[in-house]
């Protein structure tokens, strides 16, 4: 969750949504995102809306955060009902951050329990929390499982100490297999997050990280190219020449290696940066984002969506808690997308999925572009013949460029 909020129209203090939000809602899934904005240490590459205790000072309390988040959960239930949206049970819940597991597991369980009280939870729903490897214990994972969590996503990032040091990660590589075992023993599914392209990371370093992660037999792997965001510590280090910059060719080599090794280990890609052992173990919460379903985002800076209406909360935890304490919506702004923008975003997101994009839904210019993309080996020819645009490995490496070519002129 980037720390800079977008521009938009002011959101009403009661949080009520425009009529467009309810149109067709009965045909869309509903999920919940819960942002936990706390970290023990701010990683040098991170541009998310997160805070350490030092940065927050006395202005916000981790101890009180669960109660504040529960206040928004209850407000969300009232707002959706008053805005005319149909009652829907949650199909997915995702706790992200920050480091959600810096809060006691009992607090995460209370937030989830409050959400279940408001909306209910579908049979077989996916409930995930992100976690740093040094922020869980066997006992805390057991509490999460007992509360209804089904899955934990560990921020492994790398298995190489000097790479972790550049990223300012606090865990040691040896911690990861331990927490994976604990999660398995608790009955939780396991995903591992990796980052490639860190300054100073060699191709052999990346190979070692991949092979190490795969040796733990996770259900799911996310592998993201490091992006250097303005204003971060890492950006300043690169600008001063203290660490080397980012190399696009290096990123491409590492992505190709990731796809090869992860595929050989029995996981299949389903989105440009994500692989799962079975289709059922793909992250359903993220798929809901990519398919344009509805979700409510709880927490400071959290974003929500319903029927082409997007809104986002005030950024700072103190301001967030203050608005809720006054009985006001914490929403800072919102935007209502027109049909053309919604269609463009659908193309941008669905083109990145292994399920692909129906070619017939593209504008005429996009349909004409498909033949050229096939000739360049960027889209899968057999899939295109059957009417779907599916990226090849080469196409995934150039996904943003491919999407630009199929968008309307």
Q: Average pLDDT of 361-368? A: 94
Q: How far is CA 202 from CA 9, 205, 273, in A?
A: 45, 5, 20
Q: How far is CA 57 from CA 38, 43, 51, 52, 68, in A?
A: 12, 18, 10, 9, 18
Which pLDDT belongs to residue 57? 47
Which pLDDT belongs to residue 167? 85
Share of the chain above pLDDT 70, in %: 90
Per the CB < 8 A criterion, the answer to whether 263 and 276 are in contact is no
Which pLDDT belongs to residue 39? 83
Both structure tokens of 143? 């509490």
Which pLDDT belongs to residue 56? 63
**Which contacts of 76-82 are long-range, i.e. CB under 8 A and separated by 24 or more positions?**
76/15, 76/118, 76/296, 76/298, 77/118, 77/119, 79/14, 79/15, 79/16, 79/17, 79/329, 80/17, 80/296, 80/306, 82/14, 82/16
DSSP 49: S
Q: Average pLDDT of 164-184? A: 91
Q: What is the mean pLDDT of the chain?
A: 92
What tens digit of pLDDT does each residue of 14-72 get?
Answer: 999 999 999 999 999 999 999 999 987 765 555 567 777 655 644 467 889 999 999 99
Question: For residue 240, is pLDDT > 90?
Answer: no
Q: Which residues pair with 97 in a beta bridge?
A: 36
Both structure tokens of 58? 């006395």
Which pLDDT belongs to residue 62? 87
H-assigned helices in 189-313: 203-215, 233-239, 248-264, 284-290
Which pLDDT belongs to residue 22? 97
What tens digit of pLDDT does each residue of 339-357 get?
Answer: 999 999 999 999 999 999 9
Question: For residue 289, is pLDDT > 60?
Answer: yes
Question: For residue 380, is pLDDT > 70?
Answer: yes
H-assigned helices in 265-338: 284-290, 317-325
How far is it, in rounded angstroms, from Cα 308 to Cα 287? 16
Share of the chain above pLDDT 90, in %: 82
């Amino acid at each position: 969750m980037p720390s800079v909020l977008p521009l938009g129209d002011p959101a009403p203090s009661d949080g009520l949504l425009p009529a467009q939000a309810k149109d067709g809602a009965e045909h869309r899934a509903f999920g919940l995102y819960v942002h936990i904005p706390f970290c023990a240490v701010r990683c040098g590459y991170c541009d998310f809306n997160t805070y350490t205790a030092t940065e927050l000072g006395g202005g916000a309390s981790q101890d009180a955060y669960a109660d504040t988040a529960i206040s928004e959960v209850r407000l969300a239930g009232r707002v959706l009902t008053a805005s005319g949206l149909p009652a829907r049970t949650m199909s997915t819940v995702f706790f992200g951050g920050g480091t959600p597991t810096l809060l006691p597991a009992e607090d995460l369980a209370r937030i989830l329990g409050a959400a279940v009280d408001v909306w209910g939870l579908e049979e077989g729903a996916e409930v995930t929390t992100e976690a740093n490897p040094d922020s869980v214990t066997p006992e805390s994972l057991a509490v999460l499982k007992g509360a209804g969590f089904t899955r934990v996503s560990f921020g492994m990032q790398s298995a190489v100490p000097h790479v972790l040091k550049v990223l300012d990660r606090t865990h040691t590589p040896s911690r990861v297999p331990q927490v994976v075992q604990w999660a398995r023993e608790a009955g939780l599914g396991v995903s591992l997050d990796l980052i490639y392209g860190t300054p100073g990371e060699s191709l052999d370093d990346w190979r070692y990280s991949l092979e190490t992660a795969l040796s733990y037999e996770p259900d799911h792997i996310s592998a993201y190219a490091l992006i250097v965001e303005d204003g971060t510590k890492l950006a300043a280090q690169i600008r001063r020449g203290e660490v080397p910059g980012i190399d696009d060719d290096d990123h491409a080599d590492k992505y190709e290696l990731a796809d090869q090794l992860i595929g050989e280990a029995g996981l299949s890609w389903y989105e440009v940066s994500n692989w799962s052992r079975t289709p059922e173990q793909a992250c359903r919460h993220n798929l809901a984002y990519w398919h344009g379903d509805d979700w409510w985002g709880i927490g400071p800076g959290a974003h929500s969506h319903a029927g082409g209406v997007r809104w986002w909360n005030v950024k700072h935890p103190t301001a967030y808690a203050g608005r809720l304490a006054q009985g006001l919506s914490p929403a800072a702004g919102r935007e209502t997308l027109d049909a053309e923008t919604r269609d463009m975003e659908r193309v941008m997101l669905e083109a990145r999925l292994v399920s692909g994009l129906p070619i017939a839904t593209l504008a005429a210019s996009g349909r004409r572009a498909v033949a050229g993309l096939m000739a360049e080996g960027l889209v899968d020819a057999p899939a295109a013949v059957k009417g779907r645009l599916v990226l090849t490995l080469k196409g995934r490496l150039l996904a943003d460029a491919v999407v630009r070519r199929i968008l309307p002129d």
